[in-house]
Amino acid sequence: MINRSLFEDTRTAFTLKSDSELERAYFLFKMISSEPLVRIGTVATNFALKAHLPVEKLIRATVFDHFCGGVSEEDCLPVIDKLYTEGVSSVLDYSVEGKAQENQFDNALEKILKIIHFCDDREAMPIVVFKPSGFGRFLLYQKKTEGVELTIEEEAEWQRIVNRFDKVCKLAKEKDVEVLIDGEESWMQDAADDLVEEMMCRYNKEVTIVYNTLQLYRWDRLKYLKDLHQRAEGKGFKIGMKIVRGAYMEKERERAIEKGYESPICENKKTTDDNFNDTLNYILNNLNDISVFIGTHNEASCLLAMELMEVNNISKEDNNVWFGQLYGMSDHISFNLAAQGYNVAKYIPFGPVKDVMPYLIRRAEENTSVAGQTSRELTLLKAERLRRKL
């Protein structure tokens, strides 16, 4: 039987937080819950960094250290080791975004390859992650997705992207490290999907190494998965899927209106939730063919996954099922799941303070806009403070 109040256990949730870290988390989420404060803070921080004011230390001691592991892989090691003492694994996420030059894509490639080597023999790090747009120009993925013919130069550029994907997946296979490939905007995603499928076909013959992402706020994704499943059976490869709800909803809807096409997004939250849960069900019924990384902060979806695993006789430590949350958020889910013996990993963003600012700003904005999440964090932190006092 699943304990439905599992996620209320704040002692387990915050077991790694000292009293002062608990206070800092409370203070941070309190700040983040205020939209005007986030707006002012964002402008002031961007200005201060551009003007080379000495704010890095302050950022590091507050928001950075809460949501990020460090400025480099080595710097993240204490966090990785600490999480693993409670059975929570780490997925290092090099969070430097918005790069668009070939040398920057090569640097990103080198970074991921280095992380795979770094994972070698580190039990706490079984998985790596990258974003398709980290390895090539967004516009090129878009052109491919739209079926626009590429110039000779662009064909060569695309081939370089294919090579970058291949290098990562090949090394990951050699080192037995799993690779998650993030999902992005729908108008570039088909090209990424085709490429990831090629990688799965090449490297997922016996076990699942390569994982694509399904964004289930898109109403067409379950059908996509079922079609892929048929192709995979035909060609004899295993599917890896991270399932998430999706992070670009506003952008997707605005673009669909602007360009006059049907929105790819489910019409409301309930439809997204149903789509997510139906997909989860489909996968857990086909676990021989599909491995899953459940990337969510939604308690109901996690409870459902636990129930479906029980019904389908899937053991908690089955390597084909992973749960994942972002570092600094939803510890009540991660640590309680890990304490029960499930496979759990935290996405740990890292990179130079200045370069991860866009990521941190998005986290802050998301926490003001994702109804309920910040207030839930605050309620849990408050409960734990009270528990410790008593």
CB of residue 301 vs ligand FAD: minimum separation in angstroms?
6
Which residue is at the shortest CB distance from ligand FAD? 295
Give the separation between CA 291 and CA 320, rounded to whole angstroms.
4
* Nearest-approach distance from CB 373 to ligand FAD, in angstroms: 6
Site for ligand FAD contains 298 (CB under 6 A)? yes
Task: Give me the least distance between CB of 90 and ligand FAD, in Å please.
Answer: 11
What are phi and psi for residue 325, nearest 5 degrees?
-130, 165
Nearest to 281 by CA among 245, 243, 329, 234: 243
Q: Which stretch binds ligand FAD (CB under 6 A): 157-165, 219-227, 239-247, 352-360?
A: 239-247
User: Of 179-218, which residues contact ligand FAD (CB under 6 A)?
Assistant: 182-183, 213, 215, 217
Three-state secondary-structure class, residue 347: strand
Per-residue tokens: 269: 């939250």
Nearer to ligand FAD, 90 or 296 (CB): 296
Stretch that binds ligand FAD, among 29-37, 189-197, 264-272, 304-312 (CB under 6 A): 264-272
* Options 105-113, 187-195, 245-253, 311-319: segment touching ligand FAD (CB under 6 A): 245-253
Q: Is 328 in the site for ligand FAD (CB under 6 A)?
A: no
Closest CA to 229 of 274, 287, 173, 268: 287
Q: Tell me whether residue 240 or residue 295 sits nearer to ligand FAD (CB atom).
A: 295
Closest residue by Cα to residue 59 from 370, 335, 363: 363
Tell whether residue 325 is a contact of ligand FAD (CB under 6 A).
Answer: yes
- The span from the CA of 325 to the CA of 243, in Å, is 12
Q: Specify the residue for token string 């819950």.
A: 33
Using rule CB under 6 A, residue 347 touches ligand FAD:
yes
**Which one of residues 272, 277, 279, 374 is an interface residue with ligand FAD (CB under 6 A)?**
272
* 245: contact with ligand FAD by CB under 6 A: yes
Provide the token pair at 287.
Answer: 């676990």
Among 90, 296, 343, 368, contact with ligand FAD (rule: CB under 6 A): 296
Nearer to ligand FAD, 45 or 374 (CB): 374
Using CB under 6 A as the binding rule, whether residue 241 contacts ligand FAD is answered as no
Q: Which amino acid is at 13?
A: A
# residues contacting ligand FAD (CB under 6 A) = 26
CB 374 within 8 A of CB 367: yes
Ramachandran angles phi, psi of 304, nearest 5°: -60, -45
178-181, strands of its sheet edge to edge? 88-94, 344-350, 321-326, 290-295, 239-244, 210-215, 178-181, 127-130
251 part of the interface to ligand FAD, by CB under 6 A: no
Sole window of 19-27, 221-229, 243-251, 283-291 interacting with ligand FAD (rule: CB under 6 A): 243-251
Task: Copy the structure tokens of residue 110.
Answer: 């080198």
Give the nearest distance from C-beta 348 to ligand FAD in angstroms.
Answer: 10
Question: Is the CB of 136 or the CB of 324 nearer to ligand FAD?
Answer: 324
User: Binding to ligand FAD by residue 326, rule CB under 6 A?
Assistant: yes
Of 338, 303, 321, nearest to 1 by C-alpha is: 303
Tokens 């387990």 belong to residue: 12
Q: Residue 216 contacts by C-beta under 8 Å, 6 or more apart in sequence?
A: 222, 243, 244, 245, 246, 266, 272, 275, 276, 279
- What SS3 state is found at 251? helix
Footprint of ligand FAD on residues 352-371 (CB under 6 A)? 370
Token representation of residue 62? 């507050």
Site for ligand FAD contains 264 (CB under 6 A): no
Q: Which is nearer to ligand FAD, 40 or 370 (CB)?
A: 370
| Residue with smaller CB distance to ligand FAD, 56 or 365 | 365
Chain residues binding ligand FAD by CB under 6 A are 182-183, 213, 215, 217, 244-249, 265-266, 268-269, 272, 295-298, 324-326, 347, 370, 373
